[in-house]
Amino acid sequence: MSTNRDYYEILGVDKSASEDEIKKAYRKKAMKFHPDRNKGDSEAEKKFKEASEAYEVLRDKEKRAKYDQFGHAGVNGQGAGGFGGGGADFDNMGFEDIFSRFGDIFGSGFFGEEAFGGGGRRGRSRRSKEPGQPGSDMKIRMSLKLEEIAFGAEKKLKIKKQIKCDSCGGTGAETNSDFETCSTCNGMGEVRQVTRTMLGQMVNVQTCPTCNGDGRIIKNKCKKCSGEGRVKGEETIKVNIPSGVSEGNYITLRGQGNAGRRGGPAGDLIVLIQEKEHENFSREGNNIYYNLTLSIPEAVLGTEKQVPTLKGKAKLKIDPGTQPGKMLRMRGRGIKGLNNSGEGDQYVRLNVYMPENLSDSERKAMESFKKSDNFSASNAKGNEKNFFSKMKDMFG
């Protein structure tokens, strides 16, 4: 299974979630879509395995770091220049194997009361989140030359965004003493309404409407940012581009997006990769292709040509009698793969130029060749077979 959905979204956790929060979120999803509770439900099975795939990545610090920076390309073993294996093939794994893989995360209570609604849930005794509201994520597109993709690069970007107010330090208040605890929520940042029903008490938790979840009120707002704790500005950000990225890959820079409100955490900056068209080369995976045109004498007699590569010009030997369409391989002249997964090669396609206008002397020379048995097309072994095979490939 290889889902395109965000792993954090699948588990229903924030990108800053702790290992314990991720574990609890997966356990909750696994209980919800457990096969014993959803017998014959293929959609539930899909969601169970989807959640397992997300947990497989996010529970591992190294895999999570790669996913956070490069998205799915960072943990997929196939396509788009994968950064390394993401782990197990959950699509072809049974439920028992998945339970076994994650050890005792489910515990003995997984099939008991706790899994199916038993036990109590402890409420929070104090406000656990930090003051302020998170900033929004930003997306930008970055166009890269093939040379930058081949060997990696460090790029600098000037980003217009919301930045922390330097006058109040992002708090939104004139001074640190200009705060008071919100009387509506008593600093909790949320209010609760308890409703009694036939099934027991139902608790509805909402963000405090007075302080917007901050848990405190500003008495004297900062004049520069009007109490927001952030202002419009511009920052120069460095982006390290690893070799081997592809069109559609993205790099996530944590905390480089818009600043949070009143001291809240900043959002992320997501850099979408675009490839610029190269004047000499085309790309296929980590390999590159170059078209080299020879003259008739060069193809017949053989020659040595200087051809461009991503590392500069290099000599390429052309053997006598080289046929048009032949592909020559230059090892290690391609793109360095992601995660040091090896270098691709450069392939050179050979074409032969046919002049349209000939001088009298050139025409006479060609007429003499025409009469030579050595230049007869009948000497081309398998010529007819090759022709019809090519036609079959084109139209078959």
Residue 283: per-residue pLDDT: 95
How many Cα atoms sit within 13 Å of 319 on the Cβ side?
Answer: 6
CATH of 281-394 among 1.10.10.60, 3.30.420.40, 3.30.1950.10, 2.60.260.20: 2.60.260.20
Of 46-55, 82-91, 324-333, highest mean pLDDT: 324-333
Residue list, annotated binding site for Zn(2+): 165, 168, 182, 185, 208, 211, 222, 225
Domain ranges within the chain, ordered by starting residue: 1-74, 138-178+219-275, 281-394
Band (77; pLDDT cuts 50, 70, 90): very low
CATH of 138-178+219-275 among 3.90.1720.10, 3.30.2350.10, 3.40.50.1820, 2.60.260.20: 2.60.260.20
In CATH terms, the superfamily for domain 1-74 is DnaJ domain (1.10.287.110)
Q: Do domains 138-178+219-275 and 281-394 have the same CATH topology?
A: yes
Mean pLDDT value of segment 248-257: 90
Residue 69: per-residue pLDDT: 81
Residue list, annotated binding site: 165, 168, 182, 185, 208, 211, 222, 225
Contact 32, 11 (CB under 8 A): no
> Among all chains, which residue has been given the structure tokens 């500003």?
218
Band (124; pLDDT cuts 50, 70, 90): very low
Q: What is the pLDDT of residues 353-392, one digit of tens each?
A: 998 888 988 888 888 887 777 777 766 655 444 544 544 4
Strand 179-181 and strand 250-253: the pairing is: unpaired
Question: In this predicted structure, which of 31-40, 58-67, 71-80, 281-290 has the lowest mean pLDDT?
Answer: 71-80
Task: Say if residue 81's pLDDT is above 60.
Answer: no
Residue 301's identity, in one-letter code, is L
CA distance 342 to 334: 10
CA distance 204 to 202: 7
Contact 134, 213 (CB under 8 A): no
Q: Which residues contact 178 (CB under 8 A, 6 or more apart)?
A: 218, 219, 220, 221
CA distance 317 to 330: 11
